[in-house]
Structure 1
Amino acid sequence: MIFSTVFNHWRRWLVGFVLIVACMLAQSAAQSYTVTAPDGVSISVQEAGDPDGQPIVFVHGLLGSHLSWDKQINSPELQRYRLITYDMRGHGMSGQPERAGAYSDGRRWADDLAAVIAGSGAQQPVVVGWSLGAAVITNYLATYGDQKIAGAVYVGGVIELAAGQIVSHPRVYSGMASPDLKTHLDAERAFVGLCFARPPDAVTFQRLLANAAMASEHMQNAVQKMSLDAPKGLGAMHKPLLLVYGAGDALVQAEPSFKRAKALNPGVIGKFYPESGHSPFLEEADRFNRDLSTFVDATTARR
């Protein structure tokens, strides 16, 4: 009995020690660096997972940062991949130019993604874009084509900045552009709340609010006019493309957006998550991570 008790204590200690070491190794494996866009904007890049694994590049959405992808970066399901995130211009730790053209010109955002792919040395990555991040990928495809990527996943993706595809929230968007600080912050909080069918835990929500507060005011004023060439980008893509939408999306019209994407590119595949709003990768993270892993493996097996 004494031996059994001692052994169980020792076993629990050993398991705890192994987990601590594993976490330390995972944290030490993560790295951060910067790349420079053609117009001189500094882009903050982060890496985790297996440095020799199939690369996945994650592009967050409006008012987010690389922290938006925590449930992917920390997912056991995805640790065998090379996980690359970055902060888009005007967000997080990346540069925040003041000129409106740095944000309204969709080519600038496309150049940032191209700089991340080139600067990281990622070969044939799968690119994953959430909301505005999907539009960034579309502009990348319109500018650079799909030769340097293996495939793409759009999550709550903006296909076009068209009234029939975007849910109207005029008070929220005008408030985000307001010079009055209270109005501005309240609108950002409302926007973050609209990202979910069900609110996340308090810590996650507060972190997302902090992300939003860090975002450039110049970017928020100009990004609604960002140029977006869906026919030339998404429409001309020949690589695999998966679209994931939450059935309760309050920011993007899921069905019309998917139908428009399908009309532009009949080869797209769609998945609708019944329990999610605008953020399926957070709201149904386990399912999303499995679907992403399946897509990446199937996509890269074709090469």
Structure 2
Amino acid sequence: MTQTLSIRQITGGGGLALRLLETGPATGPTILFLHGFSQSAAIWRPQFAGGLAADHRLAALDLRGHGGSAKPVEPAAYSDGSLWADDVAAAIEALGNRPVVLVAWSYGGLVACDYLRRHGSARLAGLVFAAALTRLGDETAMSLLGPQVLSYVGSLFAPDIATVVPALVQFIQQCHARPVSERDLYEMLGYNCVVPSEVRAALFSRQVDNDDLLSTLQVPTMVLHGSADDILLPTAAQRLGSLMPTAQVSMLEGTGHCLFREAPEAFNETLRDFVTTNQC
């Protein structure tokens, strides 16, 4: 049975308009997905279209500056962690009183940590870091990035589209361990191009260290990573595991940074098992 997709606008930090996608039965365990740098909620299509939606309530937020959410270009709209935190809090509030499993991919890991630092984990039934960044702007963070990223990342902030588009194509291709189909490439390129270059630059201007926060987390946590991730190296998952000794750490073999798109069935079943095991 195909689930109905609802699209609604909510109000995030500082009064910013945000878009929230939702599908699945309202009575099922609730999972909220946070996408990564320069992407959109649409990237979770393999989850929304898969078996998870039959018995789980799935929601995905367009982060500020992305997708169908408002896109201010002032750096101050992205430098304050409390704004990101309040965005997530608004999405959780919109989903009602049920506990939420928060799934954070890539840059979404930083946003999840912003939320936890400001609002705590009382509304969370579980937390999943999927190839997730939790640190940014220092030597430790840089050491976890694949070396190829550094060769083109500056072009992602360029003001002219002729410079930006080839860099975005390279970025999208590098997010995958296997060749990307033409359909998927142009779909992803479309919502990457919607993000203003000023927003991409502002996202990477932050300096964030969440090691102290992670070492004190009490919520059930899982770390998922692709064994062939060339964007955020697998050592990042190992590092998270060392910071959170009770977290479940799993590698999806042969997948890259977009592990949930390259191996959707394995990702979805692993997520389902986590939700069931922790009675989320």
Instruction: Give the TM interval when normalised to the shorter protein.
Output: over 0.9
Equivalents in 2 of 1:159, 1:122: separation in Å? 27
Q: Is the Cα contact below 8 Å between 2:16 and 2:70 reproduced in 1?
A: yes
Q: TM-score, normalised by structure 1?
A: 0.87
Which residues in structure 2 correspond to 1:220-259 (within 5 Å)?
A: 220-255=200-235, 257-259=236-238
The aligned counterpart of 2:67 is 92
The aligned counterpart of 1:282 is 261
Equivalents in 1 of 2:23, 2:238: separation in Å? 35
Of the three residues 255, 264, 279, the one matched with 2:243 is 264
Relative to 1, partners in 2 of residues 1:229 and 1:108: Cα closer, same or farther, differing over 3 Å? Answer: farther
Give the gaps of 5 or more residues in structure 1: 1-21
Tell me the matched-pair count: 275
The aligned counterpart of 1:291 is 270
Q: Is the Cα contact below 8 Å between 2:169 and 2:185 reproduced in 1?
A: no
Deviation at 1:79, TM superposition (A): 1.8
The aligned counterpart of 1:176 is 156
Report % sequence identity.
28
1:202 aligned onto 2:196: no
Q: Is the Cα contact below 8 Å between 1:195 and 1:249 reproduced in 2?
A: yes
The aligned counterpart of 1:107 is 82
Equivalents in 1 of 2:198, 2:96: separation in Å? 31
Equivalents in 1 of 2:263, 2:34: separation in Å? 18
SS at match of 2:142: coil
Matched residue type, 2:152: V
The aligned counterpart of 1:211 is 191
Q: Deviations over 1:190-237 (max 9, x none)?
A: 111111001233212211110100112221111112243413432221
Q: Which has the higher helix share?
A: 1
Q: Is the Cα contact below 8 Å between 2:52 and 2:272 reproduced in 1?
A: yes
Relative to 1, partners in 2 of residues 1:122 and 1:133: Cα closer, same or farther, differing over 3 Å? Answer: farther
Q: Which has the larger radius of gyration?
A: 1
Q: Is the Cα contact below 8 Å between 2:23 and 2:53 reproduced in 1?
A: no
Q: Deviations over 1:30-52 (max 9, x none)?
A: 21111111311111011101111
The aligned counterpart of 1:41 is 16
Relative to 1, partners in 2 of residues 1:209 and 1:122: Cα closer, same or farther, differing over 3 Å? Answer: farther
Q: Is the Cα contact below 8 Å between 1:235 and 1:264 reproduced in 2?
A: yes
Q: Is the Cα contact below 8 Å between 1:111 and 1:140 reproduced in 2?
A: yes
Equivalents in 2 of 1:216, 1:114: separation in Å? 24
C-alpha RMSD of the superposition: 1.5
SS at match of 2:153: helix
Q: Deviations over 1:39-73 (max 9, x none)?
A: 11111011101111110001111111111000000
Deviation at 1:186, TM superposition (A): 1.1
Equivalents in 2 of 1:158, 1:187: separation in Å? 20
Relative to 1, partners in 2 of residues 1:228 and 1:107: Cα closer, same or farther, differing over 3 Å? Answer: farther
Q: Which has the higher strand share?
A: 2
The aligned counterpart of 2:101 is 126
Equivalents in 2 of 1:41, 1:138: separation in Å? 20
The aligned counterpart of 1:14 is none
Q: Is the Cα contact below 8 Å between 1:246 and 1:254 reproduced in 2?
A: yes
